[in-house]
Amino acid sequence: MATQAFAVNGAKCYIIGRTMEKLETVAKEYGKGVAGSIHPIQGDITKKEDIARIYEEIKSKEKCVCILVNNAGISSNTLTTEAKTAEEMKSNLFDNSDSNIEDWVDTYRTKYVMPNDRMPRSKTDIPLASHNASS
């Protein structure tokens, strides 16, 4: 889990999801004994008003967002993501007859919570987007 790795190494992490109970469980379980911290924020990034609220909440607490990991994605078809080689991964995800361009667009569409042109950033900002197909 990216959040845990960042928190262990001293980062202040905000996690966003639709279900506060699940977010609080993650913060409690993975936030124990770490150098950083994990802060849950309830929100649905498919809703414009939630994105605006989340943006304002984080903006009111932080002067910058140094790393943004976007791990949002859905897929209507279940595809095998494990592979031992790049060729096998291509076969599983691209060549598979259940894979179509609409799923690729829906799954790998970037939904940034923090508009990069509006959020103050530091000199060490690293834009990072990780897209994961999970339902």
Q: Which residues of the chain have pLDDT under 50?
A: 110-118, 120, 122-135
For the chain, what are the domain ranges?
2-73+109-127, 79-108
- Indicate the fold that domain 2-73+109-127 takes in CATH: Rossmann fold (3.40.50)
pLDDT score, position 73: 60
Between CA 17 and CA 113 the distance in angstroms is 11
DSSP 12-29: EEEEEES-HHHHHHHHHH
Fill in the DSSP letter of residue 116: T
Query: Tokens 């994605």 label which residue?
Result: 73
Which amino acid, one-letter code, is at 50?
D
The pair of structure tokens assigned to 66 is 């140094």
pLDDT score, position 112: 43
pLDDT score, position 76: 63
pLDDT score, position 74: 58
**Residues across the chain:** 135
Between CA 94 and CA 98 the distance in angstroms is 9
pTM of the model: 0.61
